[in-house]
């Protein structure tokens, strides 16, 4: 496995492999890697000839500068995990390498990027599209892998690929959870033991709501989730929305769609966690 810090070095390595017809899989990450990332990486290693994993804490997607400063950075441990997964290249550029000058491009995929995370993290998806489109231009992958934990991000990236006509396949990967149900997230590292205990109520509530939804309306299910989160001390609900999984627009009735997803964001102390659950998918 090679750890590469510049665009030029990465492209030099990849150009030789591409001439040989090798298919390149890309897994974009912000590091502090865990088993959720590893599932994306292993899938890429299985499905492609060459896998590139980018590790870059992208400043342009952080609307909250405190969140950016506190974001965990663990490149040495990340490289060990990636080496064990048989990754070929780790791309870990500096901020100056990616943004030698400010990126003034603006991306708008309304209404996909104006709801939920888009409403609460202004500019976030613009920053995500800036970095992901740059990575696609640099690596020119055959496939790129993203987790369904960031459900809205995946929908927006799919739309960006459609509109910008990137010639690649986006592969969405299921959420990986701790044994007790908590969705794995790099930000979990910032939870105290007590906060970790409270955070468990997020996935527990979502799972309960899945059974509840079978014989209750959308608005009753919505209320049940809101009440359960609000009843847990130490948790603060930012939003819970039951949406059509393709349009990300709120639904009022289960019969409105064949793809219904509940997306939630909760503050657990200072740490902002996201999760989601599929109620219906055909
Ligand atoms: N538990 C998980 N299951 C599946 N995919 C995941 C999981 N956690 C992260 N991913 C995916 O890994 C990729 C990189 O995510 P990122 O580096 O932001 O990690 P993260 O754990 O989501 O961190 P954060 O604390 O920012 O939520 C994204 O496509 C994300 O959806
Ligand atoms: C896709 C991504 C790596 C872009 O910085 C990030 O948003 C993430 O980790 O989900
Ligand atoms: N996993 C999404 C990256 C972020 O929260 O900025």
Cα of first residue to Cα of last residue in the chain, in angstroms, is 39
Nearest to 189 by CA among 43, 91, 78, 80: 78
pLDDT in tens, 185-201: 999 999 999 999 999 99
Question: What is the C-alpha to C-alpha distance for residues 239 and 258, in angstroms, rounded to an integer?
Answer: 22
Nearest to 14 by CA among 56, 47, 52: 52
**Ligand 1 closest atom vs CA 34:** 21
Strand partners of residue 266: 237, 273
pLDDT in tens, 112-144: 999 999 999 999 999 999 999 999 999 999 999
Q: Which ligand is closest to the CA of 58, given by its number? A: 2
The verdict on whether omega for the bond into residue 272 sits within 30 degrees of 0, i.e. cis, is no
Q: How many A from CA of 82 to the centre of ligand 3?
A: 20
CB atoms within 10 A of CB 244: 16
Which tokens belong to 6? 């510049």
What backbone torsions phi and psi does residue 137 show, to the nearest 5 degrees? -65, -40
51: pLDDT strictly greater than 90: yes
41: pLDDT strictly greater than 90: yes
What number is the average pLDDT over the span 39-63? 98
Strand partners of residue 267: 236, 272
Which residues contact ligand 1 via a Cβ below 6 A? Answer: 29-30, 36-37, 39-40, 146-147, 149-150, 173, 175-176, 183-187
Q: Which ligand is closest to the CA of 91, given by its number? A: 2
Residue 153 DSSP SS3: helix
Calculate ∠ Cα 236-37-133, nearest 5°: 90
> Which residue has the least CA distance to atom 1 on ligand 3?
150
Which tokens belong to 124? 């976030």
High-pLDDT (> 70) share of the chain, %: 100
What backbone torsions phi and psi does residue 101 show, to the nearest 5 degrees? -135, 160
282: pLDDT strictly greater than 90: no
Round the average pLDDT of the chain to a whole number and report it.
Answer: 97
pLDDT in tens, 154-183: 999 999 999 999 999 999 999 999 999 999
37 tagged catalytic: yes
pLDDT in tens, 204-233: 999 999 999 999 999 999 999 999 999 999
Q: What are the structural domains, with CATH classification, of the chain? A: 2-173 (3.40.50.620), 186-276 (3.30.1300.10)
Range 169-202 burial, b when 16+ CB lie within 10 A, else e: ebbebebbbbeebbbbbbbbebbeeebeebbbbb
pLDDT of residue 146: 98
């Amino acid at each position: 496995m090679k750890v590469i810090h510049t665009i030029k070095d990465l492209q030099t390595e990849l150009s030789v492999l591409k001439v040989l017809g090798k298919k390149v899989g890309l897994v974009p990450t912000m590091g502090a890697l865990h088993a959720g990332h590893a599932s994306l990486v292993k899938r890429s290693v299985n499905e492609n000839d060459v896998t590139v994993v980018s590790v870059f804490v992208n400043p342009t997607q952080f609307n909250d500068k405190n969140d950016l400063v506190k974001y965990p950075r663990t490149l040495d441990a990340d490289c060990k995990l990636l080496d064990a997964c048989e990754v070929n290249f780790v791309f870990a550029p500096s901020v100056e390498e990616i943004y030698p000058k400010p990126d003034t491009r603006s991306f708008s995929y309304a209404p996909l990027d104006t709801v939920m995370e888009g409403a609460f993290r202004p500019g976030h998806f613009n920053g995500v599209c800036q970095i992901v489109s740059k990575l696609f231009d640099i690596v020119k992958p055959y496939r790129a892998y993203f987790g369904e934990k960031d459900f809205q991000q995946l929908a927006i990236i799919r739309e960006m690929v459609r509109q910008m006509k990137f010639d690649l396949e986006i592969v969405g990967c299921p959420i990986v959870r701790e044994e007790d149900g908590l969705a794995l997230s790099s930000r979990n590292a910032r939870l105290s033991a007590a906060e970790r205990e409270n955070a468990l109520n997020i996935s527990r509530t979502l799972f309960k709501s899945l059974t509840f939804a079978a014989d209750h309306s959308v608005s009753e299910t919505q209320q049940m989730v809101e009440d359960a989160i609000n009843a847990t001390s130490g948790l603060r609900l930012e939003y819970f929305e039951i949406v059509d999984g393709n349009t990300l627009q709120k639904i009022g009735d289960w019969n409105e769609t064949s793809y219904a997803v509940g997306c939630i964001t909760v503050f657990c102390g200072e740490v902002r966690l996201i999760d989601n659950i599929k109620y219906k998918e055909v």
